[in-house]
Structure formats: C-alpha cells, structure tokens
Structure 1
Amino acid sequence: MDDEPQTPETLFHTAVGVEGGLGVLALTLGYFLGPDARELVPAFNQLPALLGGVGLGILATFPLLLLMAVIRRIKHPAVEQLDQLSEHPMIELMLKLGPAELLVISLCAGVGEELLFRGWLMPAIAQLLHGDPVSLLSGDPSIVRPWWAFGGWTSEIANELSRNSSAAGESAAVTWSGLTQWWSNSIGWEMTVAWILSSIGFGFVHPISKLYIGVTGLMGLYFGALLILTGNLMIPIIAHALYDAIQLWSAAAEEASKDAKSA
C-alpha cells in the first residue's frame, strides 16, 4: 500500500515531535548521565532572571538577522542556493502553515536544540575533557545578584561590583582583559573545545547546503557564547526560536506574495 503524501499538518506534527524529542533526549541524558541542562534555565522562583533571559534573548536575535541580511547581499552561487531554500519540498510544505504553527515549530526548535546542544552536549564534552563538571553557574548561591547575572561572566561582574561599589566602568571584570582572564580561569580550554565541537555538530545536523552548515555552525558559536557569558540558557533558547520564527514568517510572506502575483 502506497504511503499517503505528506501534508502541511502531518509535517507540523512531525516537526514538533522531532524538535520536542531533542529536548526530551537532552533531559534524559542529563538525568542519567549528567550534566543536567535544567540547571541552566532559571526556575519560576527566579522570575527576574527568567524574564530577563527572555528579554535578552529577544535582543540577541538582532545580530543574527543582521548576519543573514549581510550574507544575502553577497553575490555568490552558494548564497543564491541559500535564497532558494523555500523551493525545497519540505520547506515549501512548511511555508503553507499558518503563522501560529510556524511559531510553535520555532519554539520547539529553540527549546529542543538548545537543551541538547548548549544545555547538555557542550557541558558534557567539557566534563569529559576535564574529568569533573565545568559549571557555568556561580558556586556561591548566598550572593544576591541582579537579574542579568544568572551565571557566567555576568555573574563575575556582579560579584566584583558587590565587593566594590565603584562604577561598572571602573570594574576590571568588564574590561577585555577581565573577560579573557575570567575565561582562562573559569572556562578553560575544556569548555572552549566543547563550545567549538558542539557548534560544529550543530552545523552538521542542518545539512541543507554547505553554506547553511557553515552559517548554522557560526550561529552555534553565537548561542554557545551567550550561554557561557551569562549562564542563562533561556537567552539562546529565545534568540534561536525568534530567529527561526522571523525567517519562516518572512519566507511564508514572500511565497504568499508570489502566489498572489501569479494568480
């Protein structure tokens, strides 16, 4: 018996299932093997950090949109191939979905892929190389920090500011040398290698074209840097999801415009 042709609705269910399944996989691996990606997401009793992560994630989307706008201005066959992704059978079918359904797919992709690649894989590789867990969170929970300092470098800045009431501009932690010193002391080569390897892996699970693999690899580096610098996984989750949603909405609008002109 022949398989029934895939419809936008069945594609929606498949996409949500696959992307959501990545998140379940990340949580399962973290539960049984560690590290636990949930530790990098602020809990509901940490509402300022949670909402702050959402806000910073929205802001973090704009550099990605700028990057793609610059890439699309480059005259090269590989870029032209990237612009023709809407003609890919799966993408073409997906673009027939409504804005709300595209948003749901994007949210599932942001949550699922970030939990797996940034929340679990990157710390897991670092732990494997180091021999012990490499935490992006502060080891002293007694220190009350502002909403923007959930972990990472921002936590170091908050720690120094709490010890020194001088202005942030006079704090050594916010200088380039302060960042590099913190990275060397707190992140080390293990997390740096894990950051790079997990980003390469992120690129290769998007094998639509060679350029797309490279672009998504760069995005993986960006999402990983957001997590390392802030310790707040909500930021790359929102940035990833919103970027995907905007790209899908834009492509769907272009396809609808083409269909209207050809009608």
Structure 2
Amino acid sequence: MENHPAATDAFFKIACYFEGSLALLALALGWLADLDPFASLIFSETAFGIGILATLPLVVLFFAMQQLDYPPLKKIRDLLLETLGARLAYRHWTDLLILAFIAGFAEEALFRGFLQPWLENGWGADVGLFGSNLLFALVHAVTPLYAVLAMLMGLYMGSMLDYGGERNLLVPMVIHTVYDFVAFVVILRDYRNRSH
C-alpha cells in the first residue's frame, strides 16, 4: 500500500467502518439471541478510573516487550510497523484516539458484551470467559505469539468485566481503548523514526 495522505486517509476510514461494524454485529447477534450486548454498560467515574488504572500493567508489559530482542516479538513489531505504521503515517494523534475508541467500544461490545455473556448463559462462567477469548485470539492471529498475547489480554479484560463484583462493560472498553491508543502512538512514532 502506498504511503501517502490519500492512502492513509482511505485506510483510516475503512478501519473505522470495519471496527464500528463489529458493534452492529454485536447488536444483530444480541437481537437473534435475545441478549442486549450493552446491558452491562454503566457510565460511572469509578468504572472509568478502574479502566484507566487496569490499563497500566498492560502498558508496562507493552513497553517491556518493545525492549526485548526475542525474534517472535521482533516479528510482531516489524509486522505492525509495516502494516499499521505505514497506513497511519499521516494521521494526527486525535485520529489514533478515534480509531482506538471505536475499536475498544465495538470489539468489547462483541466479545465481552455479547459473546462472553451468551456463552456464560449456556455453559457457565469459565466457558464464557475462555470461549469468548479463544475467538478473540483467533481473529487477532496475525502470528501465533500475537494470538497468545491477544488471548491473555482478552482473558484479562474479560475478568475485569466483573471487577469489584459488579459487571460493567465500561471497564474493558476503557482498557482496550487506552491500550490501543498507546500502541498506535508508539507504532506511529517508531515508523516515523525508522523512515527518517
């Protein structure tokens, strides 16, 4: 893909539409299964704060993995630079925040808002947590290690859905959004540094 403003603009729009369509998919599946994927989405300052704080360990791990010279991690970094870095090269940080928000909102609506509770209703909490995150890992399987990391991150976000004993979809949505935003900023920074 060519790295010029028109190409990055097209990618940005497609990425936003694709990610946003996952929320529509969650609503459609929820309608079919008679399950509201947003039933546990409660806006509160406490849940927002918990989401921000719960992102910190993931961000620390992300930066630690950036420093490791482990070949499978290097492969992931290179892949992200070549794909996302090139395609987001001309985007402003606010665009990265918008994309991270849409991804965090829509993916969590599908995987933690619909799929996890749907599986829980039929097979129990453990199957709900592990089953939804197995699918989460599979759709993020750009490399085997990336799939494993996505599975672990999904398990973490799925567990945080019930943090404090009260289910709130806002917590994993905030975690996902903040983590993706930090990752996008780092990928774009590294891509720009490598290109100059």
Deviations 1:18-76 (A, max 9, x none): 1111011112222332321221111xxxxxx5222212111111011122233344432
Structure 1 position 104, deviation (Å):
0.7
In structure 1, what is the equivalent of residue 186 of structure 2?
250
Tell me the C-alpha RMSD between the 2 structures: 1.8
Deviation at 1:90, TM superposition (A): 4.6
More helix by share: 2
Match of 1:203 in 2: 137
Preserved CA contact (<8 Å) 1:111 1:241: yes
Separation in 1 of the partners of 2:66 and 2:188? 17
Alpha-carbon distance in 2 for matches of 1:201, 1:13? 25
Deviations 1:95-120 (A, max 9, x none): 43211111111000000000000010
Q: What TM-score, normalized to structure 2?
A: 0.89
Q: Which has the higher contact order (CA 8 A, sep 6+)?
A: 2
Q: Is the 8 A contact 1:41 1:50 kept in 2?
A: no
Query: Which amino acid is the alignment partner of residue 66 of structure 1?
Result: V
Deviation at 1:88, TM superposition (A): 2.6
Please list, as runs of the form range in 1=range in 2, the aligned pairs for 1:67-78 lying within 5 A after superposition.
Answer: 67-78=61-72
Instruction: Measure how far apart 1:236 and its partner are.
Output: 0.5
1-side partners of 2:85 and 2:116: how far apart? 29
Answer whether contact 1:95 1:248 (CA < 8 A) is retained: no
Quick one: which amino acid aligns to residue 214 of structure 1? Answer: V
Other-structure match for 2:156:
222
Structure with larger Rg = 1
| 1:15-30 pair list within 5 angstroms | 15-30=15-30
Contact 1:35 1:124 in 2 (8 A): yes
CA contact (8 A) 1:196 1:221 kept: yes
- Map of 2:115 onto structure 1: 121
Q: Which residue of 1 aligns with 2:50?
A: 56
Distance 2:149 2:186 in 1: 18
Partner letter of residue 11 of structure 1?
A: F
* Aligned-residue offset at 1:252: 1.2
Distance 1:256 1:105, change over 3 A: same
Q: Distance in 2 between matches of 1:225 and 1:85?
A: 29
Gaps of 5+ in 1: 43-48, 130-189
Any unmatched runs of 5+ in structure 2? none
Match of 2:32 in 1: 32
Post-superposition offset of 1:91 = 4.1
Match of 1:87 in 2: 81
Alpha-carbon distance between aligned partners in 2 of 1:233 and 1:16, rounded to the nearest angstrom: 21
